[in-house]
Chain A
């Protein structure tokens, strides 16, 4: 019997103008968002490659490794096509210097605030907003609408149980919604291939799980729709209730959670942290230079009364020792700054992580937040994106510094020579033979790999929560209908 109901439900939806219009719009938006996403991704890849090329060309003109302007560029990932996440909020590159900490700068939103105003129309947005609304639109009168039109009594004047009816109803409605969604994603997958986007097995796997998460999400709203429709006598009331549920889930709970977490666990801004670090570094450098001044004064004291030749000889004899002393002092200052920076950043990230955890835990009352968090973690465009890249960039900075030192230069190779009678001399780096550097030797920054396994591990909890929410909503809808007054 449930199959007859499911078949009827499917046919009823497919033949309705409401379905044709709304499913058509959803399909169009999904396909359009994927098309735009692919174009945007390809443009970002081209920009990324061009930026690296320009950096290498500039570097190739240098004769000293220590003066090479190095930056690490974040390589776009194809999953951004589906889930833009925080991708546009965080910087695209970081300068690699000893004097400054790694910090991703120049985000897309900071470069083009208009994008920040309206944000991206990515498939996640379409699923989050449009498909959930569509699910509500199709189910708000699933049960009470049948009562209003008298068909519920007509159906139950036959030998059919309530369980069979609701099962058929849910199945038919679900398949009707599934068809345009799956079709759109299949077209999207085809577009990826046809538009020459490289997708490896892990990316296809992530895409598959993204589709699964989307299906779980709209199923959730569909079940909530049936649940509310079974609880209310009139479809106009259930529509209003569902609208409130939708607004709360999609718009209010996620934002309110972030604000509440911000109030409950205040965390300094990145600029405040930078400012604190800069202030500490300035103080450490002032102390270092003060110490150096004092040392030089002490070093020159014995030369007072010496003849210039004797003084020069005295300086020449002692210079290796002085250089070692200066180098040790400088290294100690740098270590002090680096250690302090590491401590401050660790503390900052710990605070930030706790705040995020609180915000996300509160937000998980809403299926919209569960979906968003799950797909962002799947795609790697979650809040961890910045941390993963900055960590990789810090490692790259260490690697690059070692390389420069090996090449006889280095940011640490600043040499100040002050001599009586010979004037002052400040030089950077090591050998300066006038020969241009070979950029082919330069270590390159590799964006961190975010494997399918990591993505699944990260998103499994949220996907599981979404699945549990579905089960609960299904049980709720089922029980609510079993108790529904059909008169």
Chain B
């Protein structure tokens, strides 16, 4: 029996004032314990969809819901149920990893967590112990990304949105990050991840949504992709060789 989607888009459309359509009636859903990858190049509409879910951009048409809460009508309530991580995770360089975590945890409604609880989450994402109380200004992108993921984890939100999270990471860091995503999936989180990395999408995704020029061209499950070459399929879709 299919569960209710935690992250849900129905005919989501965004048309800018200049007439440019960034998102064209996109519909999809992410269920608990599922990793949904929005796959597409630049301008495909992945980030637009994410921006709508986070309330940074109002949609022109359609509905976006997180845990059943409409992000348009009750954005603050909707955002209580989602954790977010972007490709640019500079965080606060004058704060230590633990202080960054503490700030975002409190924003996410987690008050009075102990130092040990923070350390436990930082350990969980694989950050070296000596870095817990170090300022972030000396951190590599991989290390900052781990802190970012810790921020997403500590919120204990049922939905997690990741915008190009492995972009700019070295292969080792990207692999570690991928393991963490899979770990979160095993904990029952609904994960929506945008990427243009076909290899990464195939590795981690339970469902892949192929996007191009604002349109959701296809949604393929892991099972459907098992015997397919995703790269070929993706290129065929965006070149219109396969009917959407």
Chain A residues in the interface with B (C-beta under 8 A): 1, 4, 8, 11-12, 15-16, 148-151, 153-161, 486-487
Contacts and interface: CB of A to CB of B under 8 A. Distances in A.
B234 interface: no
B69 to A, nearest CB: 11
Nearest to B103: A8
Nearest to B99: A11
B95 A15 contact: yes
5 contacts: A150-B91, A154-B151, A158-B108, A158-B109, A486-B56
B54 interface: yes
Contacts of A157: 54, 79, 82-84, 161
Interface string B92-135: 10110001000110111100000000000000000000000001
B132 to A, nearest CB: 16
Nearest to A161: B76
Interface string B45-84: 0010001001111000000000000000000110110111
Contacts of A12: 92, 94-95
Given A158-B79, A159-B76, A153 B56 contact: yes
A151 B57 CA distance: 17
A160 B94 contact: no
Contacts of B54: 153, 156-157
- Give the dominant DSSP class at A's interface: loop
Given A150-B91, A154-B104, 6 more contacts: A151-B92, A157-B161, A158-B107, A159-B77, A160-B107, A487-B57
A153 B56 CA distance: 8
A156 B55 contact: yes
8 cross-chain pairs, A with B, having the tightest CB-CB distances, nearest first: A157-B84, A149-B90, A150-B88, A159-B76, A158-B107, A15-B94, A16-B94, A159-B80
A148 B80 CA distance: 24
Interface of B: 47, 51, 54-57, 76-77, 79-80, 82-92, 94-95, 99, 103-104, 106-109, 135, 148, 151, 155, 161
A153 B84 contact: yes
A287 to B, nearest CB: 81
A24 to B, nearest CB: 16
A102 B94 CA distance: 62
Contacts of B79: 156-159
A69 to B, nearest CB: 66
Interface centre among A155, A158, A160, by most B CB within 10 Å?
Answer: A158
Contacts of B148: 154
Given A11-B95, A16-B94, A155 B57 contact: no
B56 A156 contact: yes
B95 A158 contact: no
A153 B77 CA distance: 16
A4 B104 CA distance: 9
Interface centre among B47, B83, B86, B92, by most A CB within 10 Å?
Answer: B92
A475 to B, nearest CB: 23
Contact of A149 (B88, B104, B108, B155): B88
Nearest to A17: B94
A173 to B, nearest CB: 14
Nearest to B88: A150
Contacts of A159: 76-77, 79-80, 109
A160 B91 CA distance: 17
Contacts of B87: 150
